Amino acid sequence: MEIIQYSPDFLTPLTAFYNDFTVDVPHCYPVKEEDITFATSGVTGKSKYYDADDIHSEMAFVAVQDGRILAFIHIGLSDDNENRDGKTAHILFFGYEVGERQIGDAILKKAEGFLQDEGVTKVYAFSRHHRYPCYHFAYAQLSDRLGHVEALLGYNGYRRTHGQAFFDWENFNATPTPPDIPVSLSVEWKDGRGKLPNCNITAHKDGEEVGVCWSLSGGTFSSHPDAQEWVYTDWLGVDEAYQGQGLGKYLLLYSLQEMPKVGYRHASLSTDWGNNNAFLLYSNCGYRLVDWTYAYSKNLEKKAEVIIPVKTENRFSEIVSYTPDHLESLTQFYNHQVQGLPNCFPVSADEFATVLGGLSEETERSKGDLEEEALFLIRNKEKIKAFVHVGFKTYHEDNEDRENERTGYIRFLGCERGERQAGQIVLEKAEVYLNSFEVKSIEAFTSRDESRYPFFSFDYANLTNYLDHIQGLLGNNGYKPSDGWVFLNWENFSVEPVLPDESVHTSVTWEEGRGERSNCTVKAHKGKTEVGECQSVSAGVFSRHPDAQDWTYTKWLGIENGFQGKGFGKFLLQYSLREMKKAGYRHASISTDLSNYRAILFYSNLGYKVADWSYEYGKTIR
């Protein structure tokens, strides 16, 4: 393997590498050689894409082995007057094959060394304004589908500086409802780079412009036929005086209503990672969150929108406390909420009832249990639209300042998409309930055993990214992400463990658990000294559903200090997976802390792929 400067001689293998690298990223369609030529034109001559006043010089490196590209990085130098300590650069694109972590690390360090030689002290990676034109839709940064690249950047000191969330609505069907504001709309179609035209819709009131919605063809970003059926909403804006009155939603849905007339079938849009109001609007219109993308930055050492308030009118028939009569309908509602989520399987009414025992005053509670619990649900015409399950616990500490301190917990919060008001009402009801017990703070979707639903994903799971309308609702009510876990899955896994030291021997212990198949503990010893341990359990520990029984979840992998960095972790994990395969398991899952880039690198380069990011939320009450 060698790392060399990119030249057009590598155009064909680089195009193949790019297409393989982005195959799982939403809205990344296969590109042609001319697309890569356009994006890299500034490496071999004058850039046809980047403005010379912005990116004034470019460089790219490829890692090549037997004529095949294993890694690629493209960088550019820019003028940044705010960086007084030196020059600024951008990583315009960076990728490496899964499993080739060392090569990815080497080419990243090669690029950083080049930049240091140029006097660069600040590097940005995957900025939304410094990106390949054929990568994703507008404003996209590094997709979290490329978890191995995110992990490598994090491992090398890059930190997230910005994020853009993407929402899709396939086969959309929009029915706009005019707002109370009397407005007139004008529709303007414009030819662009796509096969179908772009569209600008403008709202006027009394002759003055009060809102706009600009939509682009997916063909703006890709010439691939599949991209032409997508419309991307590039901008939705409402004059400040008319915000919060439904005009933004009306403009968006009216725009979507127009799009099928010219042939569009699917819709996409994006927003800033912290725009909870937009999250609520889009997810309750019909869009689904499909991708989180992030920009990164690092300091190099010098070398020696619409605000939409909740309506106070309550159109729901009743908000009530849970009774056993609600069990069947509540179970159905929960299953609908989690349908399609990673590692979430349908539950039976009997299984759902296991998390409701704390609602009864007759339940005997142990020291670790929540002291009291309540579940509130809201219905419309006998159909559940939202529910929240809460409780609290008192912590007795030696510190007098924390003596008898109470913490509230939101065990689960769910609401139908499009029923934001219902979600708001049950959340407010829960907070009033917890406030009556003078809780100091509220934690939502924690990984504590006493507060989480055991069948909601696998161990340690918090609030999944895929329930974006719930994330938006919590964020809009003052809850902040405080911790989180990333889950990596490997469907139809296949491993061949290699023992790094022949003097090490292994032992395997099987134990029956709640799953149909047994749990497994693999230990490695060198002589009488324990080297490490790997504990894997059946996903039947978490769910009774038949599909869960095919999954194994690795809940612990640990290597003693003196043996770390020598391949024993990889061996133990692979050895455990091989044993689980023999026992009939087909799929594997594992998780780690969000900031454990070393572990994410390790797992993603073994064969796991990032399946979900989940977050715990918190809010201080008093």
Share of the chain above pLDDT 70, in %: 95
pLDDT score of 53 = 63
- Among 218, 242, 264, give the residue marking a domain's end: 264
Task: Tell me what the mean pLDDT of segment 50-78 comes to.
Answer: 90
Asked if residue 308 is part of any domain, the answer here is: no
For residues 93 and 177, membership in a common domain is answered with no
Secondary element (H or E) of residue 59: strand 55-65
Same structural domain, 415 and 536: no
Alpha helices in 220-326 (DSSP H): 247-258, 276-285
Is the pLDDT at 24 greater than 80, yes or no?
A: yes
pLDDT in tens, 414-457: 999 999 999 999 999 999 999 999 999 999 999 888 889 999 99
276 assigned to some structural domain = no
Query: Mean pLDDT throughout 552-570?
Result: 94
Q: Are residues 59 and 158 in the same domain?
A: yes
Residue 405 has pLDDT above 90, yes or no: no
Q: Are 260 and 334 within one domain?
A: no
Q: What is the pLDDT of residues 164-180, one digit of tens each?
A: 999 999 999 999 999 99
Mean pLDDT of the chain: 92
**What 8-state DSSP symbol labels residue 302?**
P
User: Among the residues of 286-399, which ranges form H helices?
Assistant: 327-338, 349-353
Identify whether residues 463 and 528 lie together within a single domain.
no
Residue 312 has pLDDT above 80, yes or no: no
**Are 235 and 248 contacting, i.e. CB atoms less than 8 angstroms apart?**
no
Domain span holding position 132 = 2-163
pLDDT of 364 reads 78
Q: Where are the beta strands (DSSP E) in 172-229?
A: 184-190, 198-205, 208-217
| Token code pair at residue 274 | 């912290």
Q: For 346-393, how does the pLDDT look when each residue is reduced to its tens digit (9 = 90+)?
A: 999 999 999 999 998 777 777 778 999 999 999 987 899 999 999 999
The verdict on 23 and 62 lying in the same domain is yes
Please give the Cα distance from 370 to 261 (Å, whole number).
55
Same domain, 331 and 461: yes
Question: Do 450 and 571 share a structural domain?
Answer: no
Residue 221: how many other CB atoms lie within 10 Å: 24
Single residue among 248, 264, 280 that ends a domain in this structure = 264
Residues 402 and 505 in one domain: no
Q: Are residues 141 and 74 in the same domain?
A: yes
- Structure token digits, residue 283: 């997810």
With bands split at pLDDT 50, 70 and 90, how would you rate the model's confidence at 49? confident
Predicted local confidence at residue 396, as pLDDT: 64
Which residue, of 469, 486, 504, is where some domain finishes? Answer: 469
pLDDT for residue 309: 38
pLDDT digits (tens, 9 = 90+) for 94-116: 999 999 999 999 999 999 999 99
Q: What's phi and psi for 497, nearest 5 deg?
A: -65, 140
pLDDT tops 60 at residue 314? no
Span 392-421, average pLDDT? 81
Q: Quick check: 186 pLDDT over 60? A: yes
- Phi, psi for residue 300 in degrees, rounded to 5: -95, 140
Does residue 307 register a pLDDT over 80? no
pLDDT at 308: 34
Residue at 488 is within a domain: no
Whether residue 157 is found in the same domain as residue 177: no
Residue 612 lies in a domain: no
Asked if residue 130 is part of any domain, the answer here is yes
CB 32 within 8 A of CB 225: no
Q: What letter would DSSP give residue 169? A: E
- C-alpha 109: how far from its chain's center? 27
Report d(CA 432, CA 425) in Å as an integer.
Answer: 11
Instruction: Give per-residue pLDDT as tens, 489-502.
Output: 999 999 999 999 98
Indicate whether 41 belongs to any domain. yes
pLDDT at 478 over 70: yes
Which pLDDT tens digit goes with each residue over 218-231? 999 999 999 999 99
Residues 233-264: tens digit of each pLDDT: 999 999 999 999 999 999 999 999 999 999 99
Given this model, what pLDDT does residue 621 score? 83
CA-based R_g, the chain, Å: 27
Binned at pLDDT 50, 70 and 90, residue 293 comes out as very high
Q: Which two tokens stand for residue 492?
A: 């139809």
- CA distance readout (Å), 563 to 98, 235, 241, 566, 596: 25, 54, 64, 6, 19
Q: Residue 611 pLDDT > 90, yes or no?
A: yes
DSSP state at residue 562: G
The reported pLDDT for the residue numbered 367 is: 73
pLDDT higher than 60, residue 317: no
* Burial readout 267-284 (b: 16 or more C-beta within 10 A, e: otherwise): bbbbbebebbbbbbbbbb
Q: What is the pLDDT of residues 265-290, one digit of tens each?
A: 999 999 999 999 999 999 999 999 99
Tell me if 88 is assigned to some domain: yes
Q: How many domains does the chain have?
A: 4
pTM of the model: 0.81
Instruction: Output the pLDDT for position 339.
Output: 94
Residues 322, 414 within the same domain: yes
Q: Is 251 contained in some domain?
A: yes
Report the chain's terminal Cα–Cα distance, integer Å. Answer: 59
Q: Residue 332: which CATH number?
A: 3.40.630.30
